[in-house]
Amino acid sequence: MNILILGSGGREHAFAYKLSQSKKINQLFVAPGNAGTNAIATNISLNPTDFKAVKKVVLEKEIKMVVVGPEAPLVEGVHDFFLADEDLKKIPVIGPKKDGALLEGSKDFSKQFMQKHHIPTAQYKSFTKETLQEGFSFLETLQAPYVLKADGLAAGKGVLILESLEEAKKELAEMLTNQKFGEASSTVVIEEFLDGIELSVFVLTDGKNYKILPSAKDYKRIGEGDKGLNTGGMGAISPVPFADEAYIKKVEERIVKPTVEGLQKDGIDYRGFIFIGLMNVNGEPFVIEYNVRMGDPETEAVLPRITSDLVDLFEGVANQNLSEKEFEVTDKIATTVMLVSGGYPEAYEKGKKISGFETIESSIVFHAGTKNENEEVVTNGGRVMAITSLGNTIEEALETSYKNIDKITFEKMNYRKDIGFDLIAE
């Protein structure tokens, strides 16, 4: 069958890599894709939120399934668009409709959902411009640090963690009355601070059945030792050592089952990935956030560990028979290190020639911000390439990644040399 992947990052290259291994694939398209996807599939230049352009490609290329990488097309309703269109309604979309995408699109909605279905999460209240004073009073009942979250999508920047009450009040006013994050902060969620270690668990669901994919931990800060500005993610490890079978069972019983059942009870027919961001507080999992897609760079560590056919699993999602599908994961550990442009996550330059990656065999090179230009591959974004290796231990896998990274060069290349530092046994 012909499949179209929407998106252009390392996550989408990882999807293309895994889907292209399936015997069920005839032609694979990625829109808009990058230089990496172009080497194993056919790139099509379009904006994934331009649904009319997506429709044209789907009909022209006889696409039989669409896999949505990023959240924006889902939150804007690409799945609903397909269902409402006579020519497209039978073509499965992997990713929820608008109603399910609200789990990521609105923090207020996702907190209400968790509360209603008794899913462990931080205590919270939501406020608007009209209830600013109540917001101040609520802050006074909490202890530092204070967590403020813009309700809507704010490109990963809408969460503030503040040390003093004074600062928290000032920021709350900025968000609500001065729209610090635009429309996204017209409602603000204030929540209790959870002190622990973060990890992510990924679920693939057909709306009734689910598979729990491998856990992963990502490294969001630009600097070593988790210092400096937040990025999209500088690396990932899968699985997370402390998330053993007993821990995942806890996550399944307390979080995954009530989430999938809650969606069903609320009449939300959810077909796709649920990315559950967790905080492990003294061995107990709490949900920090839901995303309605896979993570980037977590996907680059998680998918290479899945040994089953991903097309087959996606067919299970589309046909609601996911429980009948085979699902196997290797015991090997995967580590991913992201190579970024100098200056990222602030201003950086593009168009730098990348060399040395073509001959790498013992790691998988996933392209993120790259493109083809005059027979060369050049940088085209902040996050440029994700280098994934498998090994028997985190150390072994990382050693392979770092050894291969030494072969890659582009002007002002930067990366973290301490991915996994907090997970490696003393």
Q: Is 315 in the site for ligand AMP (CB under 6 A)?
A: no
- By CB under 6 A, name the one of 298, 300, 309, 315 that touches ligand GLY: 298
Q: Is 291 in the site for ligand GLY (CB under 6 A)?
A: yes
Q: Which residue has the tokens 């996994």?
A: 420
Instruction: Tell me which H or E stretch contains 272.
Output: strand 272-281
Write the DSSP assignment of 252-264 as a string of letters. Answer: IIIIIHHHHHHHH
Per-residue DSSP letter, 215: P
In angstroms and rounded to an integer, the radius of gyration of the C-alpha atoms of the chain is 21
Q: Is 289 in the site for ligand AMP (CB under 6 A)?
A: yes
Cβ proximity to ligand AMP, 195 vs 426, nearer residue: 195
- By CB under 6 A, name the one of 99, 108, 206, 296 that touches ligand GLY: 296
Q: Is 368 in the site for ligand AMP (CB under 6 A)?
A: no
Separation between Cα atoms, residue 47 and residue 71, nearest integer Å: 13
Separation between Cα atoms, residue 172 and residue 149, nearest integer Å: 9
| Contact range with ligand GLY by CB under 6 A, out of 76-84, 127-135, 293-301, 399-407 | 293-301
DSSP strand E in 103-194: where?
124-128, 146-150, 159-162, 187-191
Q: At its nearest, how many Å lie between ligand GLY and the CB of residue 264?
A: 25
Query: 148 φ, ψ to 5°?
Result: -115, 135
Q: Is 104 in the site for ligand GLY (CB under 6 A)?
A: no
Separation between Cα atoms, residue 176 and residue 396, nearest integer Å: 48
The alpha carbon dihedral of 290, 291, 294, 295 has a sign of negative
- By CB under 6 A, name the one of 92, 100, 233, 304 that touches ligand GLY: 233
Q: Is 226 in the site for ligand AMP (CB under 6 A)?
A: no
- Half-sphere CA count of 72, side-chain side, radius 13 A: 11
Of 69, 163, 160, 68, nearest to 107 by C-alpha is 160
Cβ proximity to ligand GLY, 91 vs 255, nearer residue: 255
Contact map string, positions 238 to 277, toward ligand AMP, x by CB under 6 A: ---------------------------------------x
36 contacts 370 by C-beta, under 8 angstroms: yes
- By CB under 6 A, name the one of 74, 147, 313, 337 that touches ligand AMP: 147
The listed partner (ligand AMP, ligand GLY, none) that binds 12, CB under 5 to 8 Å by sort, is none
The listed partner (ligand AMP, ligand GLY, none) that binds 218, CB under 5 to 8 Å by sort, is ligand GLY
| Contact range with ligand AMP by CB under 6 A, out of 10-18, 51-59, 187-195, 329-337 | 187-195
Cβ proximity to ligand GLY, 91 vs 291, nearer residue: 291
Burial profile 234-246: b = 16 or more Cβ within 10 angstroms, e = fewer: bbbbbbbbebeee
Q: Is 191 in the site for ligand AMP (CB under 6 A)?
A: yes
Alpha-carbon torsion, ordered 104, 244, 207, 2, to 10 deg:
90
Q: Is 288 in the site for ligand AMP (CB under 6 A)?
A: yes
Cβ contacts of 46 within 8 Å, gap of 6 or more: 31, 32, 53, 54, 57
Cβ proximity to ligand AMP, 23 vs 227, nearer residue: 227
- By CB under 6 A, name the one of 198, 224, 312, 418 that touches ligand AMP: 198
Separation between Cα atoms, residue 396 and residue 142, nearest integer Å: 44
Q: At its nearest, how many Å lie between ligand GLY and the CB of residue 153?
A: 11
Residues that bind ligand GLY (CB under 6 A): 218, 233, 291, 295-296, 298
Residues that bind ligand AMP (CB under 6 A): 122, 147, 149, 159, 191, 193-194, 198, 277, 288-289
